[in-house]
């Protein structure tokens, strides 16, 4: 029973990692930029939701929609104002730029909302589902369902919508897509918007489980580990990697001495790099000469 | 304006390109040597910190500026160097031997991390080093019998060949001497085939590989060398702070080291020195600034990291070549004085260079 309990809580935690990793992989695939500020964008999303729900007292679903719109605008704005100028710069300068952005976002959030942890009231908080000895909180179920919903939406979006196919084209070959009339710059902004939305939803989903604070963005680091374990640049890989890391973390927390649960994600990452560096779903290849 | 006449191939790899450089560098060395006689003890201490940061900056510059890889976990190597040195001193190993051991141990660990992390693209190294730094932080906290855990451990006073160096001035000369040795080592490394291989990898991997450079080996070696320099800096830092605790080696320190090389100027050893000066005095400038700002702003919890982030972003967008690059432009302006043209340093429009196959 204990095992099932851990599996479920690990899955729900892993889904959040997976969602953040998804946002990060989306940006990487389309623009070849590595966004280290993804966790902080998630934090910002959670705080916007907090503002709409607790301060402005919107209905939960209206607040959700408002958060999504705000974060989409913010993501696109970030791309347009700051990252657009970095196209063509070496990858490590983009990487460091996003690290710097993360620090700025954290300081700004600390200035606006303060550093004490807060919680978002949700309509589903507090309820539990119990079957024999397994007790699962509604919030965990909502996380898993929400992740499934987003994955389904993304699958349909990339498979059938014009915009989704254009995004795929840009991620496969920017120049060819440009020649075929795809507005590459606009697609970049939209990809950032989409990724910010996914992170914001992840932030709202995780808010009832772990409180929101400006420092919650650090779980983004585990999401990177997840993305690499799953195979850098693969969308299903991001979710699978997230699940692996979430579940391993829960088991390490219970069966191993203290301290191991915090680093288990990183140990998994380093082991993965040793055994299968391209990740579970290998999508990156080294160029051969 | 000086024109250098090239009459032999060896000229390109000389340490000093012309007599003017020899003059200015010897002037610099003289002024640094007599500095303790003129300055207050506080500033001597700060200058030795600048030297220590510069040593680790050399390591990071070799990695970031010359090989084009990013490490987000160099604080871990500072920690490894510092703790190894402190532990060896505690069991009675002589100072010099212990420092060399700390350097090589850091380099070894760096190599071991580099082997798995560098088989793929550079981003893997960034994430792997981040992971590694978190693991090291946990080890430092939980391995109480060796590191003292949260309570930390005291570092013995430095004693080189029987001479105690606990005063600020002898320690200053120790740091200065090691910095000069490190600079010479780095200069020699960079003009050797290995250094050119690293630069080739930074500029483009496929041509480098076509020229017969073993990518994974060169990158791993570069990372190990970088870790070694940082470990050496760590062993000096251990004496500077005197009491080691895990919270002296956090992610923020790694980021500060990165900011140091970016702000100083990527791809130049001059930049390391500028960056080290910058990074040592910035916290004090921020502290002074806090007094002038309205309390509401000055009390923001993450103000200092935020300012660090802002500076990093501004430099990356507006001056990717850092302080040193700005200085070069400044000098160019005066050298060419009436003939200076704005377009000389205009940044070229660049396009996405893909690193992927599909």
Domains in chain B, please, with CATH?
A: 41-342 (1.10.3470)
Contact status, residue A182 vs residue A166, Cβ threshold 8 Å: yes
Sort B205 into a burial class: Cβ within 10 Å, 0-12 / 13-18 / 19+. buried
Instruction: Say how many CB pairs under 8 Å bridge A and B.
Output: 174
A242 within 8 A of A16, measured Cβ to Cβ: yes
More confident residue, B33 or A131: B33
Are B65 and B262 contacting, i.e. CB atoms less than 8 angstroms apart? Answer: no
Domain residue limits at A197: 2-215
B chain contacts of residue A265, beta-carbon cutoff 8 Å: 131
CA distance B305 to chain A (A): 6
Token pair in block for residue B19: 């007599």
Closest chain A CA to residue B347: A89
| A102-123: average pLDDT | 84
List the 27-46 stretch of B: residues with Cβ below 8 A of A. Answer: none
* Average pLDDT score, chain B: 84
Query: Looking at per-residue confidence, does B195 or A132 come out higher?
Result: B195
Asked if the C-beta of A289 comes within 8 angstroms of chain B's C-beta atoms, the answer is yes
Q: Torsion angle of alpha carbons B229, B233, B236, B239, nearest 10°?
A: -140
List, in sequence order, every residue forming a beta bridge with A130; answer none if it has no partner: A135
| Inter-chain CB proximity A91 and B355 less than 8 Å | yes
Q: CB count, 10 Å around CB of B293?
A: 13
Structure tokens at A31: 């623009």
Contact between residue B316 and residue A93 where contact means Cβ atoms under 8 Å apart? yes
Is the CB of B72 inside 8 Å of chain A's CB atoms?
yes
Residue A283 belongs to some domain of the structure: no
Judge: B306–A267 Cβ closer than 8 Å, yes or no: no
Which of B 260-319 lie inside 8 A of A, CB atoms?
262, 297, 300-303, 305-313, 316-317
The CA–CA distances, whole Å, from A11 to A8, A239, A243, A263, A282 equal 5, 10, 6, 18, 22
Using the 8-state DSSP alphabet, how is residue B301 labeled? T
CB interface of A with B, residues 206-225, below 8 Å:
214, 221, 224-225
A6 is a domain residue: yes
Contact between A25 and A86 under an 8 Å Cβ cutoff? The reply is no
Q: Rg (Cα) of chain A, in Å, rounded?
A: 19
- Name the pLDDT band for B226 (thresholds 50, 70, 90): very high
Cβ proximity of B62 and B198 under 8 Å = yes
The answer to whether residue B356 scores a pLDDT higher than 70 is: no
What is the DSSP code string of B215-232? HHHHHHHHHHHHHHHHHH
Quote the minimal CA–CA distance from B275 to chain A in Å: 16
Q: What is the pLDDT of residues A230-245, one digit of tens each?
A: 887 788 888 889 999 9
End-to-end alpha-carbon separation of chain B, Å?
Answer: 49
Q: Do B309 and A110 touch (CB under 8 A)?
A: no
Query: Mean pLDDT across chain A, nearest whole number?
Result: 85
Looking at residue A287, its pLDDT comes to 53
Cα gap A104→B123, rounded to integer Å: 22
Contact assignment for B313 to A111 by CB distance below 8 Å = no
Chain B contact set for A87 (CB, 8 A): 350-352
Q: Give just the sign of the alpha carbon dihedral B300, B302, B305, B309.
A: negative
What are the φ and ψ backbone dihedral angles of A282, each rounded to 5 degrees? -70, 115
CA-to-CA separations, B290 to B284, B295, B303, in angstroms, rounded: 10, 8, 10
The pLDDT of residue A288 is above 60: no
pLDDT over 50 (residue A66)? yes
Task: Give phi and psi for B243, each to the nearest 5.
Answer: -140, 115
Cα of A264 to nearest chain B Cα, Å: 9
CB-based contact B119 A273, cutoff 8 Å: yes
Q: Which of A253-257, B155-159, B232-236 has the lowest mean pLDDT?
A: B155-159
Closest chain B residue to the Cα of A229, Cα to Cα: B124
**Residue A276 touches chain B, beta carbons under 8 Å:** no
Yes or no: say if A269 and B128 are a contact pair by the CB < 8 Å rule. yes
Tokens of B123: 């981003």
pLDDT score for A196:
92
What confidence category does residue B61 fall into, taking pLDDT thresholds of 50, 70 and 90?
Answer: very high
Q: Is residue A271 part of a domain?
A: no
pLDDT digits (tens, 9 = 90+) for A177-217: 889 988 888 898 999 999 999 999 988 888 888 888 888 88
A272: in domain: no
Of A90, A107, A277, the CB nearest to B120: A277
- Is residue A282 included in any domain, yes or no? no
* A97 neighbourhood in chain B, CB within 8 Å: 312-313, 316-317
Residue of A nearest to B204 (CA): A90
A281 within some domain: no
Asked if the C-beta of B163 comes within 8 angstroms of chain A's C-beta atoms, the answer is: no
Residue A177 lies in a domain: yes
Instruction: Assess B61–A contact: CB distance below 8 Å, yes or no.
Output: no
Query: How would you class B332 by CB atoms within 10 Å of its CB: exposed for 0-12, middle for 13-18, buried for 19 or more?
Result: middle
Q: B49 is written with which tokens?
A: 């910190």
What is the helix (H) or strand (E) element at residue B159, kind and residue range?
Answer: strand B159-160
Q: Collapsing DSSP states into helix, strand and coil, what is residue A133?
A: coil
Mean pLDDT for B70-84 is 90
| 3-class DSSP state of B39 | coil
Q: CA–CA separation, B59 vs B169, rounded Å?
A: 25
**Sign of the CA dihedral with A110 first, then A116, A122, and A127 last:** positive
In the prediction, which pLDDT does B358 show? 47
pTM for the model: 0.87
pLDDT digit string, tens, across residues B151-172: 777 777 767 766 666 677 888 8
Angle A180-A184-A188 from CA coordinates, rounded to 5°: 150
| Gap between the Cα atoms of B57 and B31, Å rounded | 22
Q: Domain count of chain A?
A: 1
Mean pLDDT (whole number) for B44-62? 91
């Amino acid at each position: 029973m204990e095992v099932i309990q851990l599996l479920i809580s690990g899955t729900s935690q892993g889904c959040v990692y997976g969602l953040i990793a998804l946002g990060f992989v989306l940006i990487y695939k389309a623009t070849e930029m590595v966004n280290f500020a993804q966790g902080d964008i998630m934090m910002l999303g959670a705080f916007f939701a907090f503002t709409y729900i607790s301060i402005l007292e919107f209905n939960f679903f209206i607040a959700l929609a408002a958060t999504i719109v705000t974060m989409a605008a913010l993501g696109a704005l970030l791309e347009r104002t700051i990252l657009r100028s970095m196209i063509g710069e070496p990858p490590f300068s983009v990487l460091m730029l996003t690290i710097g952005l993360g620090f700025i976002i954290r300081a700004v959030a600390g200035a606006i909302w303060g550093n004490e942890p807060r919680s978002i009231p949700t309509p589903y908080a507090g309820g539990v589902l119990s079957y024999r000895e397994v007790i699962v909180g509604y919030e965990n179920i909502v996380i898993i369902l929400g992740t499934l919903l987003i994955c389904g939406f993304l699958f349909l979006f990339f498979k059938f919508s014009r915009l989704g196919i254009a995004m795929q084209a840009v991620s496969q070959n920017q120049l060819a897509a440009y020649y075929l009339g795809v507005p590459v710059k606009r697609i970049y902004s939209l990809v950032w918007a989409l990724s910010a939305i996914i992170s914001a939803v992840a932030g709202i989903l995780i808010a009832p489980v772990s409180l929101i604070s400006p420092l919650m963005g650090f779980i983004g680091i585990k999401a990177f580990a997840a993305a690499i374990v799953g195979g850098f640049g693969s969308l299903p890989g991001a979710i699978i990697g997230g699940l692996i890391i979430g579940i391993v973390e829960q088991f390490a927390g219970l069966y191993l001495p203290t301290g191991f649960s915090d680093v288990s994600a990183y140990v998994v990452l380093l082991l993965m790099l040793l055994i299968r560096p391209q990740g579970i779903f290998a999508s990156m290849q080294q160029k051969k000469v | 304006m000086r024109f250098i006449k090239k009459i032999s191939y060896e000229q390109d790899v000389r340490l000093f390109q012309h007599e003017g450089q020899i003059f200015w560098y010897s002037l610099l060395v003289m002024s640094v040597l007599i500095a303790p006689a003129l300055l207050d003890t506080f500033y001597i201490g700060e200058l030795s910190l600048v030297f220590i940061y510069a040593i680790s900056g050399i390591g990071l510059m070799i990695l970031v500026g010359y090989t084009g890889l990013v490490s987000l976990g160099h604080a871990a190597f500072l920690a490894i160097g510092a703790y190894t040195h402190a532990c060896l001193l505690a069991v009675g190993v002589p100072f010099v031997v212990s420092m060399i051991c700390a350097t090589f141990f850091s380099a070894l660990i760096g190599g071991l991390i580099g082997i798995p992390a560098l088989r793929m693209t550079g981003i893997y190294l960034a994430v792997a080093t981040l992971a590694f730094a978190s693991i090291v932080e946990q080890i430092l906290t939980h391995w109480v019998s060796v590191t003292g855990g949260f309570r930390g451990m005291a570092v013995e006073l430095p004693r080189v060949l029987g001479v105690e160096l606990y005063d600020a001035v002898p320690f200053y000369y120790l740091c200065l001497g090691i910095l000069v040795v490190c600079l010479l080592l780095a200069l020699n490394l960079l003009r050797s085939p290995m250094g050119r291989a690293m630069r080739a990898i930074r500029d483009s991997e496929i041509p480098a590989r076509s020229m017969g450079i073993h990518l994974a080996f060169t990158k791993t070696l570069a990372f190990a060398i970088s870790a070694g320099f940082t470990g050496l800096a760590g062993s000096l830092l251990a004496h500077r702070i005197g009491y080691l605790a895990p919270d002296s080696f956090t992610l923020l320190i790694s980021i500060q080291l990165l900011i140091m090389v970016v702000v100083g100027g990527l791809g130049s050893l001059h930049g390391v020195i500028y960056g080290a000066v910058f990074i040592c005095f910035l916290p004090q400038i921020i502290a002074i600034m806090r007094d002038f700002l309205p309390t509401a702003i000055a009390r923001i919890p993450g103000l200092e990291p935020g300012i660090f982030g802002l500076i990093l972003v501004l430099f990356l967008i507006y001056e990717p070549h850092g302080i040193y690059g700005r200085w070069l432009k400044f000098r160019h302006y005066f050298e060419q004085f009436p003939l200076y043209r704005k377009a000389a340093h205009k940044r070229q429009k660049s396009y996405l260079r893909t690193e992927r196959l599909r």
